[in-house]
Amino acid sequence: MLDTKVAELLNVQVNKEFYSAYLYLDFSNYYTEQGLNGFANWYKVQAQEERDHAMLFMQYLQNNGCKVTLEAIDKPDQTFASFAEPLKAGYQHEQYVTGLIHTIYDAANSVKDFRTMQFLDWFVKEQGEEETNADDLVKKFNLFGSDARALYMLDSELAERSYSAPSLTL
């Protein structure tokens, strides 16, 4: 049985991951409306990843005899004045999620819950990749976004991103 605080934080994370998916679908919709279908695809794939992260947290809780409580998912409420804004917001959001994962890890460490720490190791690594990818996208946009041809090429590159499910086994 998991420590009560660790289980509570994991349960909150389920809902945070579903919110992340919702947020990235909102970004995808924004880019679709702007005619940047590659950017829209990039965030649609990102939403699928976040949904699967939520499912992994749910499965971990269930495998440990814990009840999963699904809360209402907040509606994303951002409006954007430029193509760069969702990219920057996405990077900031990934930094926020990294902090959430670290908080859970710290709570598990404080009660010597090594199994949960091992489970979270994958997410710690994943968040490093997520932050790098989001930061790289911001940097690429800053370099190329003001040139229409370069923006077209970046959009075409992002259209090629495809989804592959996480390989974490529980």
State the fold for domain 4-71+81-159: Ferritin (1.20.1260)
Q: Give 50-103 as a DSSP string.
A: HHHHHHHHHHHHHHTTPPP-PPPPPPP----SSTHHHHHHHHHHHHHHHHHHHH
Identify whether the C-beta of residue 56 lies closer than 8 Å to the C-beta of residue 168. yes
Whole-structure pTM value: 0.93
pLDDT in tens, 112-127: 999 999 999 999 999 9
> How many residues would you count in the chain?
170
pLDDT band at 1 (very low <50, low <70, confident <90, very high): confident
